[in-house]
């Protein structure tokens, strides 16, 4: 992973906008945080296939059994990937790692829970998913000669490929995906997910393996001094909690962020 500091707001805008449309992004409120899923953070050091399955089966069963009691805006998911996606966006810890096609949505998530008093630097991760998926597909083909999918064909049937070719095996790859049946929040956030093809290996460990050494993977450090300018930039672009979430929760978060500017 490359690391680069963007010292001015103009440098932030130019650098992120110059990246090709093949890049996806993730924002962190603290530049020292690693890339890890919410389930990885929950489980901590005791990370293996059995432990992941235990937590995932429990949360899936609970969420699915009570889903109809609470949801009135989404179509009921039809695949495991779609269920995990919906759970992720409503706060259930999963092994999915959120990314977005928009660098500015990633900046929003970097500052959403940022504490200006902390003086921590922020970070934006960028990843060329076209390069990454090409390497991942090559790795699968070395293990399974019958696998004939391409990155292009996968995009049309992501749930099926995930269910039949990724989930049952333990490939030491990372996988970029999104359910064909998007939920409202994922659509609003131009979202996609990164996950480990091998449940027993954490995402960051595989990302930093030799397989992906030639892929364009960069961590951009945004100094804490840019916080107010970043907030102002997003405000002018109408990127805020109201547009990201589209509900009362979003309105509440938008007000909280605005209040934090003057605290």
Q: What are phi and psi of 262, to 5 degrees?
A: -115, 5
In the structure encoding, which two tokens stand for residue 31, read together? 């530049």
DSSP per-residue letters across 148-171: ---HHHHTT-HHHHIIIIITTS--
The candidate with the shortest Cα–Cα distance to 82, out of 156, 186, 176, is: 186
CA distance linking residue 157 with residue 153, whole number of Å: 7
Q: List pLDDT tens digits, range 22-35.
A: 999 999 999 999 99
Integer angstrom CA distances of residue 90 from 11, 27, 66, 123: 34, 18, 13, 23
Q: What are phi and psi of 194, to 5 degrees?
A: -115, 135
In the structure encoding, which two tokens stand for residue 147, read together? 């696998």
Is 56's pLDDT higher than 90? Answer: yes
Integer angstrom CA distances of residue 83 from 31, 36, 63, 115, 224: 30, 20, 9, 32, 36
Confidence band of 190 (pLDDT split at 50, 70, 90): low
Lowest mean pLDDT among 77-86, 95-104, 122-131, 253-262: 253-262
The candidate with the shortest Cα–Cα distance to 94, out of 36, 148, 146, is: 36
Domain positions in the chain:
2-260
* 3-state SS, residue 53: helix
Question: Other C-beta atoms within 10 Å of 206: how many?
Answer: 21
What is the overall mean pLDDT for the chain?
Answer: 87
Q: List pLDDT tens digits, range 205-214.
A: 999 999 999 8
| 122 and 42 Cβ atoms separated by less than 8 Å | no
pTM of the entire predicted model = 0.85
CA distance linking residue 183 with residue 18, whole number of Å: 29
CA distance linking residue 193 with residue 260, whole number of Å: 29
CA distance linking residue 116 with residue 215, whole number of Å: 33
Angle at the Cα of 250 (from 244 to 251), degrees rounded to 5? 125
Q: List pLDDT tens digits, range 168-185.
A: 998 999 998 887 755 444
| 174 and 197 Cβ atoms separated by less than 8 Å | yes
Query: Cα torsion at 99, 102, 107, 113 (round to 10°)?
Result: -50
């Amino acid at each position: 992973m490359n690391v680069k500091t963007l010292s001015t707001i103009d440098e932030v805008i130019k650098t992120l906008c110059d990246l090709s449309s093949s890049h996806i992004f993730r924002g962190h409120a603290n530049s020292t945080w690693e890339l890890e899923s919410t389930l990885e953070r929950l489980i901590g050091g005791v990370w293996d296939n059995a432990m992941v399955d235990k937590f995932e089966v429990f949360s899936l069963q609970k969420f699915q059994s009570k889903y109809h009691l609470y949801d009135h805006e989404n179509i009921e998911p039809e695949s495991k990937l779609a269920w995990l996606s919906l759970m992720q966006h409503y706060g259930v810890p999963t092994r999915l790692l959120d990314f977005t096609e928009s660098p500015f949505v990633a900046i929003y998530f970097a500052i959403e829970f940022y504490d200006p008093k902390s003086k921590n630097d922020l970070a934006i991760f960028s990843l060329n998913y076209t390069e990454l998926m090409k390497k991942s597909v090559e790795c699968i083909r070395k293990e399974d000669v019958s696998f004939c999918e391409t990155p292009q064909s996968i995009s049309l049937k992501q749930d099926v490929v995930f269910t039949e070719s990724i989930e049952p095996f333990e490939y030491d790859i990372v996988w970029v995906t999104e359910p064909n049946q998007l939920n409202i929040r994922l659509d609003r956030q131009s979202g996609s997910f990164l996950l480990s093809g091998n449940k027993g290996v954490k995402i960051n460990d595989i990302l930093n393996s030799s397989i992906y050494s030639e892929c364009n993977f960069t961590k951009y450090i945004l100094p804490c001094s840019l916080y107010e300018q970043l907030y102002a930039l997003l405000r002018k672009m109408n990127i805020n909690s109201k547009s990201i979430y589209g509900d009362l929760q979003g309105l509440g978060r938008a007000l909280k962020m605005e209040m934090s500017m003057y605290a």
